[in-house]
Amino acid sequence: MWESKNIETNTIHGGKKSQGEHGPLSTPIYQTSTFVFDDVQQGADRFAGDAQGHIYSRLGNPTVDELEARMAVLEETEAAAAFGSGMGAVSAAIFALLKAGDHLITSHRLYGCTFALFNHQLPALGIQVSFVDLADEQAVRAAIKPNTKVIYGETPINPCLTVIDLDSIAAIGREQGITTVMDNTFMSPILQRPATHGIDLVLHSATKYLNGHGDVVAGILCGSSELINHIKMTTRKDMGAVMSPHDAWLVIRGLKTLHLRVQRHSENAQVVAEYLQGHGAIEKVYYPGLPEHPGHRLLGRQMRGAGGVMAFEVKGSFEQAVAFINQLKMCKRAVSLGDAETLIQHPASMTHSTYEPEELAEAGISRTLIRLAVGLENAEDIMADLDQGLASIGG
C-alpha cells in the first residue's frame, strides 16, 4: 500500500492493496458468501485465528477489507470496521462498550434514530443515559458518574449545526478513563479528523459524503486496532450488521472524488448561507461558516471548512415553512445529505420525529426549522430555487 501526507492523494491511493496477477485498476468485488479452504486444518487454523485468510463474508471480505484500510488511512487511525448502515455502526459500538449498569453521556441533540436508541432501547436494557449540552464542558463534567463508560456525540450536531470542541471532550475522556465516540458524518475526513484530536472512536454514515451518490446505505467505525477488533469479533459478528461487498465497492468508488465533492459542497454552502442570512423571510441561519456562529471559532483549528449542511428558521408559521418546502422545484424533498443533489427536509416531521414535543423544544428544534444539504449544482441555481420558494413567505 502507498500513502501520502496529503489527504487529497490518499482518497485515491491510501490503503489500496495490490490486486494480484491481473492488476485491475478498480478494486474487484468479491461477491461471495463463503471461502474455500485447502484442507480441514487450514479451516481450523483460520477459525482459531492462527492463520490469515477469509472464512465467511459476515466475518470479513477482501473488498470490505480494502474499504476499511482506506478509511483508517483517511481518519488517521490504526483500523476501521464497515457496517451495513450508519445505525449498524452506532449500535455495534454502543453495545460493545456498554452493559447493564453502565452510564452513557450524550448530546441532547442527536440524529433521530440515534436519539431513539439511546432514549428508549438503552434504558430498557439497564444502561443509564444522560443528555447534556456537549458544547458546555462544565455540563459534561457535571454529568460524569462513577459508572460512566462512554461519551458519545456528533459534530456538527444534526440538525442545528452546534459544534463540539473535540480537544475538550477528548481531554475529559482521557482524564476520567471514558471512551469517547464522535460521529464525523457531516464533516467527512476531508474537513475534520477527530482521532487526531484524541477521540477514541470515529463514526460515519458512509451513506452520505463518503459514498456521495445516493445509492448506498452503509456505516464505518475508525479507531485503534484493539477497539476495532473487539467490535468486529463481538457485536458486528454476532449482531450481523455487515456491509456487502458491492456496497463496499460503491463507497470505495465514491472516496476517489471525496475531496473534490466536499470542496464544492462547502463552497456552495457558504454562498447559500450568506444569501439566506440576508433574506427578509429568514429568521436565523445555523452554519459554522458564518462569523456569528459559535462554532466559527473552531474553523482552522478543528475543521478545515464548514461543510455542506445548514439549518435555518423561516419567519412565519409551520404552515408557511411547509409551503416553502413544497414550492421548491430543483431542490429535492428528501432526507440524507452528501449527494450531488441539494436535499431539503423538515427535521421535526422527518429525521427527528422520534423526539417528543418537549424533547424537540429542549433540543432547539422548532417547527419552522429546515435543514438544507447543499448539493453540487451551480450555486446560482440553488439560490434561485430557494428564492422562488421563499416568495411564498414574503419578507
Active-site residues: which are they?
58, 111, 183, 208
Quick check: 195 and 123 in contact, CB under 8 A?
A: no
Distance CA 187, CA 205 (A): 11
Write the burial class of residue 89 (CB in 10 Å: 0-12 exposed, 13-18 middle, 19+ buried). buried
Chain centre to alpha carbon of residue 304: 16
Look-up of cell digits 434561485: 384
Half-sphere CA count of 194, side-chain side, radius 13 A: 32
Distance CA 11, CA 134 (A): 30
Look-up of cell digits 475531496: 259
Distance CA 65, CA 71 (A): 10
Quick check: 235 and 96 in contact, CB under 8 A?
A: yes
Closest CA to 91 of 67, 111, 70: 111
Would strands 343-345 and 369-373 be described as parallel, antiparallel, or unpaired? antiparallel
Quick check: 303 and 309 in contact, CB under 8 A?
A: no
C-alpha dihedral, 17 to 3 to 84 to 343, nearest 10°: -130
What cell numbers appear for 115 in the block?
436519539
Task: Report helix angle 258-277 to 379-390, nearest 10.
Answer: 40
